[in-house]
Amino acid sequence: MSRVIVFGGHGRIALLLAPILVARGDEVTAVIRNPDHVADVEQTGATAQIADVEQLDTAAIAELIRGHDAVVWSAGAGGGDPARTYAVDRDAATRTMDAAAAADVKRYVLVSWLGSTADHGVPESDSFFPYADAKWAADEYLRGTDLEGTILGPGTLTFDEPTGRIDLEAPDRGRVARADVAAVIAGALIEPATIGRTVRFGNGTPDSSEPIADALAR
């Protein structure tokens, strides 16, 4: 059994992740900003923790993380406001990394996106640029820490039924079901081979994909 704290606990992926973790015996703390979301979170078997990580400093976040075995960052501003995108997707994310280190919690899984590379190709004039820039900055920050980090880069998220399979190799990995992203997070948490890796993936095709556990183990 592990104690896992999930930031962005009311997000669509996090709500799918929590039942997977709970079913295998983990204890899940889901960090949420809105008290109205407590019931939704606790229906998954997680324990809701109300906290606004956009406002909390590193020391306060470390107190939330202390006593857990792993951190999952699955939060985001949701686009729209560039200033808030940077505040959440970059600044709050990196504070949780510093906080995890301060709390002596080494395992950290960061949910990013498939295109998060230095040459992501999104022009500054594009409204998507702040998201791309903030995600890349958070990814790079994690790579520079001493945490046991894993960066997950899913493709375009869908509400399709889960396949239990992902494709790591195709040039355009394309779309991926949110439920499969949740399964990848859960798998990465317990697969040592993912530590220090950036895992970019989509669902691919039946011929190009492989079971999630197999993909993460190699």
pLDDT digit string (tens) for the chain, length 218 residues:
899 999 999 999 999 999 999 999 999 999 999 999 999 999 999 999 999 999 999 999 999 999 999 999 999 987 779 999 999 999 999 999 999 999 999 999 999 999 898 888 888 888 889 999 999 999 999 999 999 999 999 999 999 999 999 999 865 668 999 999 999 999 999 999 999 999 999 999 999 999 999 999 98
* Cβ atoms of residues 205 and 167 within 8 Å: yes
Taking only the tens place, the pLDDT of each residue in 167-190 is 998 656 689 999 999 999 999 999
Distance, CA of 148 to CA of 217 (rounded, Å): 16
Q: Which amino acid is at 216?
A: L
Residue 79's pLDDT is what?
73
Structural domains of the chain sorted by starting position, each given as residue range(s) with its CATH number in brackets: 3-217 (3.40.50.720)
What is the residue whose two structure tokens read 């919690």?
Answer: 105
**Residue 80: CB partners within 8 Å, gap ≥ 6?**
none
Tokens encoding 96 = 């949780």
Residue 172's pLDDT is what?
63
Tokens encoding 205 = 């095709």
Distance, CA of 101 to CA of 78 (rounded, Å): 26
Q: What is the DSSP string of 12-26?
A: HHHHHHHHHHHHTT-
Distance, CA of 36 to CA of 40 (rounded, Å): 8
* Cβ atoms of residues 33 and 92 within 8 Å: no
What is the residue whose two structure tokens read 């004039």?
Answer: 125
pTM over 0.85: yes
Distance, CA of 111 to CA of 34 (rounded, Å): 21
Residue 186's pLDDT is what?
98
